Structure 1
Amino acid sequence: MTNQPIIPPKKRGLIVGLRASFLTGLVVVLPIGLTLYLIWTVTGWIDGFVLPFIPERFQPSEWFGYWFCPPHSGPATGLSQFWMSDPASPPFFCKENGINLRGTGVIIFLLFTIFMGWIARGLIGRSFLNWAERLVDRTPVVRSIYSGIKQIAETVFAQTDQNFEKACLVEYPKEGIWAIGFISTAAKGEIKARFPEHDEMLSVFLPTTPNPTSGFLLFVPSTDVRMLDMKIEDAAKLIISAGLVYPNGKDKDGVAITQPPASVK
């Protein structure tokens, strides 16, 4: 019998805190980054279509390039002469000199995301994010892009204790035909009040095959639901495989499942 390594409580708390900050940071960083990327891409596409019609001497890049970007040859111009006097001699860390610190960007991204998540979990960070989101909501095009990406990020990365409770079978789309569903919670509020004849109404998510992320929300009396002993993950595998292969090729009792012989026509 092998002894499992025991993680000290302080170290475990640090790992949990870093993980929570990282996931929170992803929820904050990804919507902003993807929104800016999409806007930048669309803007570049429009520029590529419009700017060819403008004479070269009136191109904005010619004016800004003179002041901020050093030329490939000759002395620096504009403001670039204050930070790069010799464009032909790049710093030692440039790729031209053969040094490429692979993985540095990944480390910086992880640290930045954890830091942003730590800030967002605080009172000041939440207040600033709420103010920024209210500002985004007033921008016509940006708010549609940002809100859509944020909903996806929250669905994937947000931490919550609300998960599906059990897998079940419900009669759908008609009596005598059964489909696998997932019980999310008991119906509450007005939904429950509309069915006083039933002791309990269950909220059942009925996924589609082979994409279980889409489906239908059904409110079913608990007496019409047949509970399954299989795990949520096993039921999801069964749905994704369209019923062709059971998880591990076995049923819940560990008995190997064999396919019936094909009918001979």
Structure 2
Amino acid sequence: MALFRKYLLAGLLVWLPLAITVWVLLWVLGLMDGIFGGVVGAAASVLPQAMGDALRELKNVRGLGVLTLVLLLLGTGVFAANIVGQWWLKQWDRVLHQVPIVKSIYSSVKQVSDTLFSSKGNAFREAVLVEYPRAGSWTIAFVTGTPAPEVAPLLGDGREHVSIYVPTTPNPTSGFFLMVPKHQLRPLAMSVDAALKHIISMGVVAPSTPAAAAAPSDPNPIG
């Protein structure tokens, strides 16, 4: 029975990641095809019957929704990269910032997305160690910037503070936002991607880069 269990677990470890990956991809594919099918159905309903019937046939093409989305994103990127596109996007932003309720949601999401995905941003550019949630207990966090000018003077002791994000495990999209003294952080040699893998796996997947210099016993923390 021990040998049977060993081989069964070994086979499970081989097939489980592949099965989950395929399941996620099929789910995304189905979602995109569903959205594409809805748009095609709405468009076909207002077109002449012959054109509408031809358009409805596109709903049966598997994967066309994902392809359409990719082409749409590429086209939008090309449009936004030139002067004319930037001018139109500014007008679009101006309109959305004037609509009640919509402006609150849109501006918040836009600020977060610009911070996370912009090449000029500093979010999630560095992984560090921080004592959390209590002294002697360490966790991996990501430096996201510096405290707001209104907040920084109220943090006490006059030392430089930084803003960090402490993700939860195994879902790193939820976590805690903290402002801590910079000297309390200890830099890690691992990349942000390696740190995320380490967190998501609950420490099972160790980064390949030696991190001896960043151990909690390091006598030379940054700051």
For the aligned pair, the TM-score class normalised by the smaller chain equals 0.5 to 0.7
Alignment of 1:125-164 (within 5 A): 125-139=85-99, 154=114, 158-164=118-124
Give me the whole-angstrom Cα distance separating, in 1, the residues matched to 2:165 and 2:56.
54
Distance 1:145 1:121, change over 3 A: same
SS at match of 2:169: coil
**Structure 1 residue 226 corresponds to structure 2 residue 150:** no
SS in 1 for 2:140: strand
Q: TM-score, normalised by structure 1?
A: 0.46
**Which digits, 9 at most, give the CA deviation of each residue in 1:229-258, with x for residues without a partner?**
333222211211222x0326x67269xxxx
Q: Which residue of 2 aligns with 1:182?
A: 142
| In structure 1, distance between residues paired with 2:140 and 2:132 | 9
User: What corresponds to 1:246 in structure 2?
Assistant: 205
**One-letter code of the match for 2:206?**
P
Alpha-carbon distance in structure 1 between the residues aligned to 2:144 and 2:106: 28
Q: CA RMSD in A?
A: 4.6
What is the Cα deviation at residue 123 of structure 1? 2.9
SS at match of 1:119: helix
Measure, in 1, the Cα distance between the counterparts of 2:126 and 2:90: 35
Deviations 1:208-229 (CA, angstroms, capped at 9, x unpaired): 1111122122222223223333
CA contact (8 A) 1:198 1:221 kept: no
Q: Unmatched 5+ residue regions in structure 2? A: 1-31, 213-223
Residue 206 of structure 1 aligns to a residue in which SS? strand
- Residues 88-237 of structure 1 mapped to structure 2, 5 A cutoff: 110-139=70-99, 154=114, 158-187=118-147, 189-195=149-155, 197-237=157-197
CA contact under 8 A between 1:187 and 1:200: conserved in structure 2? Answer: no
- 1:124-146 superposed Cα distances (whole Å, 9 cap, x missing partner): 32222222333344455766776
Give the counterpart letter for 1:247 in structure 2. Answer: A
Residues 131 and 137 in structure 2, CA contact (< 8 A), matched pair in contact too: yes
For the residues of structure 2 that align with 1:202 and 1:152, how far apart are their CA atoms?
17
Unaligned residue ranges in structure 1 (runs of 5+): 1-33, 45-64, 71-83, 255-265
The letter for the 2-side match of 1:169 is L
Separation in structure 1 between the aligned mates of residue 118 and residue 197 of structure 2, nearest angstrom: 23
The alignment partner of 2:171 has SS state of coil
Equivalent residue number for residue 13 of structure 1: none
Query: In structure 2, what is the Cα distance between the partners aligned to 1:109 and 1:252?
Result: 40
Q: SS at the partner of 1:247?
A: coil
Given that residues 165 and 185 in structure 1 are in contact (C-alpha distance below 8 angstroms), is that contact kept between their aligned partners in structure 2? no
The residue type paired with residue 134 of structure 1 is: R
The alpha carbon displacement at 1:191 in A equals: 3.9
In the TM superposition, what is the alpha-carbon distance from 1:204 to its structure 2 partner? 1.9
Q: Structure 1 CA distance, aligned partners of 2:183 and 2:209?
A: 24
Q: TM-score normalized by structure 2? A: 0.53
Shift of 1:122: 2.7
What SS does the corresponding residue of 2:164 show, helix, strand or coil?
A: strand
CA distance 1:216–1:142, shift in 2 (3 Å): closer
- How do 1:35-54 and structure 2 match up within 5 A? none
The number of equivalent residue pairs is: 171
Kindly name which structure, 1 or 2, has the bigger radius of gyration based on alpha carbons. Answer: 1
**Identity level (%):** 34
SS in 2 for 1:193: helix
Task: Return the letter of the residue paired with 1:167.
Answer: A
Aligned CA distance change for structure 1 residues 143 and 234 (closer, same or farther; 3 Å): same
Other-structure match for 2:6? none
Post-superposition CA distance 1:74-103 (Å, at most 9, x none): xxxxxxxxxx6xx9xx88x996xxxx9888
